[in-house]
Amino acid sequence: MSHINTAIAIATILFLFIGMGSATNIPENTIYEEKPLGASFTYSPVNPQAGDTVAFTTTATGSNITCWAWVFGDECSASVQNPTHSYATAGTFTVTLTITDATGATDTATDTVTVTSAAAVPVASFTYSPTTINPGTQVAFTDQSTNSPTSWSWSFGDGGMSMAQNPLHTYTSAGTYTVCLTVSNAAGSDTYCRSITVFNPLDAGFSYSPTCPNVDESVIFTDQSQGNPYNWEWNFDDGTVSYSQNPSHTYSSAGEYDVTLTVSKSGTTSDSVTKTITVSEGIPKPDADFIWLPTCPDVGETIYFTNTSTGEGIDQWSWDFDDAMDFTGKRYSTLQNPSHTYEYAGSYYVTLTVWNDAGSDIVGKTITISPPPTPTPSPYSLSLNEGWNLASIPLKNATYTVPAPVYPHVYAYDSVSQKYCDMDISDMQAGTGYWIASASDVSMELYGEPVSHYSCNGTKGWNMIGGLAYETTSQGITLDSMSISNPILYGYDGISRKYQSFGYLLPSYGYWLYLYEDGIVNVTMAPPPSP
């Protein structure tokens, strides 16, 4: 610190006090010395960081100091005796204190404050060596954390711990271990974890199947090495090699072969094992084939498949009939000579796979399934009596031959005009009643698609309707989707020449239906159940 001193005043003051009956005497020539005005200060902490609060304390000397003027070196100031101040950034700052007493005398003190950067929370990280670790290998862990940690805590995943910055550790058994490092400083802490795998030492080993292979038979080699190798090299002793972990190989001639497997890791770590394989001539593979009858099957017809494969020792058969479903729910078969039925027409690619000890063979053939033959329709019989008949045709697209006694003209009733109209017999439609005249009793044979439902326009009053292909109760008659309760329904008896009330409709008969309002007449029924 530097000081500006004022003059030292020395005075001798003699005081005489005279009191009633007594006196206090002060020694003569007593000298009083005042301390000089001297600026000085301290601060704490002495090594502040950016953002810390720094406390400045005045340690000045002198009497009657009336003013303290502080300049902190970062464009900030204060006028209190003992101020505090916080620096926002790191750096070296010149702090000045100027004091003034009652006489106007001044003195100044100067000092520097060095502010360091604020501590940051550390970020934990580490590496280890070597990267290929076996039980008993000493592993060196190296701290790679940033932001200046001041303490370290390691957990090695096997119960081991360390507080060193860069510890050494040895694992006693193979496995995968989670290693965690926690680092700390005044600003906080952070943890970083990673997995370390400890491998058993390399020990090459393998198996193969079948154990007694034949010529041209595929041999499957399976790696059984210990120590988690990264690379595999197979030498099959017939001039071929493989670098797959689990290869397959076929020998073209009989003999003994010394198969060698060499496994390795990174660097020069490797191990080998050799086994002798005996390959026999064996029996030849089978030759798959089959036939079927009938050769041109129809939908729903049972097809009999016969295995005609050749080869010694065939003991397995697998058929695929190429349809998603059949009548029995089975697309596949393992029988030697199965049967099968197709539900839909089309072409199907049927395959047969057969096996013996030497291997397998597959054959496929296309079989064409034809639609079922169109059945010859059974005729409907329309019986007509001599004279007038109230009849109908219960078939769509009907075909028939009109017998000679039947007159070629019929009469239909128009419920709107309430009149009959003459029409040709060939124009008769299902669902309508007609008057047909015949010169004698006769029967007409009708062919076509049976009708089990029809709709027609109904008019208030009498309407002529026809029967369906099956007997129908009156409950099957509706008007505009509303049931007709107890419909007024009359048929005509061609023998007695009288009308009769009916509660049902018979095929090939016509009827009078009375409606109380206009609407669409629906006549519907389901065919009777099969016997």
pLDDT attached to residue 399: 84
So what CATH class is 290-369? mainly beta
**pLDDT(10) > 80:** no
Query: pLDDT-derived band of residue 208, with 50, 70 and 90 as boundaries?
Result: very high
For residue 476, the 8-state DSSP code is G
Q: Could you tell me if 511 and 490 are in contact, meaning their C-beta atoms sit under 8 angstroms apart?
A: yes
**What confidence tier does 447 reach under pLDDT thresholds 50, 70, 90?**
confident
What pLDDT does residue 267 have? Answer: 60
CATH superfamily entry for domain 1-118: Immunoglobulins (2.60.40.10)
Percent of the chain clearing pLDDT 70 (strictly above): 89
486 pLDDT band, cuts 50/70/90, is confident
Is the confidence at residue 134, as pLDDT, over 50? yes
pLDDT of residue 144: 97
pLDDT tier at 21 (50, 70, 90 boundaries)?
Answer: very low
pLDDT, one tens digit per residue, over 351-404 is 999 999 878 999 999 999 998 776 555 677 888 888 899 998 888 888 888 888
pLDDT higher than 90, residue 448: no
Structural domain 206-279, CATH architecture: Sandwich (2.60)
Pairing state between β 65-71 and 31-33: unpaired
Compute the mean pLDDT over every residue in the chain, rounded to the nearest whole number.
86
Asked if pLDDT for residue 34 goes beyond 70, the answer is no
Q: State the CATH architecture for 126-198.
A: Sandwich (2.60)
User: How many CA atoms within 13 Å lie on the side-chain side of 146?
Assistant: 2
pLDDT exceeding 90 applies to what percent of the chain? 52
- Beta bridge partners, 71, equal 77, 96
Residue 20 has what pLDDT? 36
pLDDT band (50, 70, 90) for residue 530: very low
Amino acid at 235: N
**Cα–Cα dist 45/73, whole Å:** 17
* pLDDT-based confidence at residue 475 (cuts at 50, 70, 90): low
* Least reliable range by pLDDT among 145-149, 296-300, 466-470: 466-470
pLDDT band at 16 (very low <50, low <70, confident <90, very high): very low
Under DSSP, the state recorded for 203 is B
Give the start-to-end residue ranges of the domains of the chain: 1-118, 126-198, 206-279, 290-369, 380-524
Q: What is the mean pLDDT of residues 209-215?
A: 90
The pLDDT value recorded for residue 7 is 33
Query: Higher model confidence: residue 202 or residue 319?
Result: 319
pLDDT at 528: 46
Q: Judge whether residue 104 has pLDDT over 50.
A: yes
pLDDT digits (tens, 9 = 90+) for 312-361: 899 999 999 998 754 555 789 999 999 999 988 999 999 999 999 878 99
Tell me the Cα Rg of the chain.
Answer: 59
Decide: 164 and 152 in contact? Cβ < 8 Å. yes
Q: Is the pLDDT of residue 11 over 50?
A: no
Euclidean distance between the first and final Cα of the chain, in Å?
A: 128
- Determine phi and psi for 475, rounding to 5 degrees: -70, -15
Can you tell me the mean pLDDT for 133-152?
Answer: 94
pLDDT in tens, 232-249: 999 999 999 999 999 999
Q: Which residues contact 378 (CB under 8 A, 6 or more apart)?
A: none
Condensed to tens digits (0 to 9), the pLDDT of residues 48-103 reads 988 899 999 999 998 889 999 999 999 999 999 999 999 999 999 999 999 999 99
Q: What is the pLDDT of residue 243?
A: 96
pLDDT level of residue 258 (50, 70, 90 thresholds):
very high
Specify whether the CB–CB gap between 345 and 297 falls below 8 A.
Answer: no
Decide if pLDDT at 151 tops 70: yes
Backbone angles phi, psi at 513, to 5 degrees: -120, 125
Burial class (CB in 10 A: 0-12, 13-18, 19+), 273: middle
**What is the model's pLDDT at position 477?**
82
Each residue's pLDDT tens digit, 404-432: 888 877 899 988 888 999 888 888 888 89
Same topology between domain 1-118 and domain 290-369:
yes
Q: 3-state SS of 100-160?
A: EECCCCEEEEEEEEEEECCCCCCECCEEEECCCECCCCEEEEEECCECCCCEEEEECCCCC
